[in-house]
A and B are shown apart, each in its own frame.
Chain A
């Protein structure tokens, strides 16, 4: 059974870097699948943040490509998101997910609320 769990600081100061990790259990991240981050501002819709695939290929969503970095740690079966220069607009529930053929997310974490505030 594939399970994903987000972890990281719940509060980040403006202009600093948001760092989140997703630990995957029940499935190896070294596979034909990609791994992604999707966020949801409170009370609003979904926004695709970024996707990372084998070999470290990274695809940004339509919003914030210039501020993001993703990485994979195969020894921990974990992947991470780093978003620089955050503002209040980056406050959201951040979900990690397994991505099929870089197109759709078929398994999701429960989500973690990250608030940007001084």
Chain B
């Protein structure tokens, strides 16, 4: 079973700053199977990135994904107020990481 680790657990930033979130897998995975989600309080998660680097429909180009093998990154180029939320990585319709909270500094 693949285990996903996300870091940092919490990221404290100001609007307009750049956010870099990490997701590390316990063994190498295909980039095709790595996705990122955003979850705002009280809402269902929303797919942001699939296939490690492809933006889902309607997702702002502020969001970008990269990586391969065991190390993947979600970058938010310039934080908007609505971007403060919890972000999860996920592998192959199965394992989720524990999440990174992006909070207002």
Residue numbers of A with Cβ under 8 A of B are 34, 36, 38, 45-48, 51, 59, 61-62, 95, 99-100, 102-106, 108-111
**Chain A contact residues: over half helix, strand or loop, or mixed?**
strand
* Total cross-chain contacts (CB, 8 A): 61
Least CB separation from A51: chain B residue: B93
Residue numbers of B with Cβ under 8 A of A are 1, 32-33, 35, 37, 39, 44-47, 50, 56-57, 88, 90, 92-99
Q: From the candidates A51, A59, A108, name the one contacting B44 in the complex (CB within 8 A).
A: A108
**Which residues from B are CB-within-8-Å of A109?**
44
Given A106-B47, A109-B44, A99 contacting B96 (CB threshold 8 A): no
Q: Is the CB of B93 within 8 A of A59?
A: yes
**Which residues from A are CB-within-8-Å of B99?**
45-46
Bound form: Cα–Cα A42–B5 in Å: 20
